[in-house]
Amino acid sequence: MNTVGNIIYFDNDNEFYEFCVTPKLFVTPFIDRLGNENYYTDFSLSNQYNESINNGIKFVIKDKNSQIYKRKKVSYRTITKDIQNLCAWDGNEIDEID
């Protein structure tokens, strides 16, 4: 991981995933419309990822075959979340993306 200006560069999907995902599921009980108790399972995106988004940081994965970039999503087990501020790698590190 390398930060230049308002961009954080990652060498590959695994490095971005470790930055972005908090690998812990949480289960929330709820009552459905029929009155039955059910459970909603989810995971959190990391605090460092969320703080970066709030500060306008962009992310670049320096792998032309990045599956995260192609899908703009990360998954933990069977749950998938959209990723924001992910930009294409053009082969050069720059310090700002509008």
What b/e sequence results for 54-76 when a residue is b if at least 16 CB atoms lie within 10 Å of its CB, and e otherwise?
eeebbbbbbbeebebbeeeebeb
Divide the 98 residues of the chain into consecutive groups of 10 and give the mean pLDDT of each group.
93 96 87 91 93 96 95 92 93 69
User: Which amino acid is residue 1, in one-letter code?
Assistant: M
Residue 78 is predicted with a pLDDT of 86
Q: Is the pTM of this model over 0.85?
A: no
Domain ranges, ordered by start, for the chain? 2-87
Q: How far apart are the C-alpha atoms of 7 and 58, rounded to whole Å?
A: 5
pLDDT value, residue 90: 85
Give the per-residue pLDDT at 24: 83
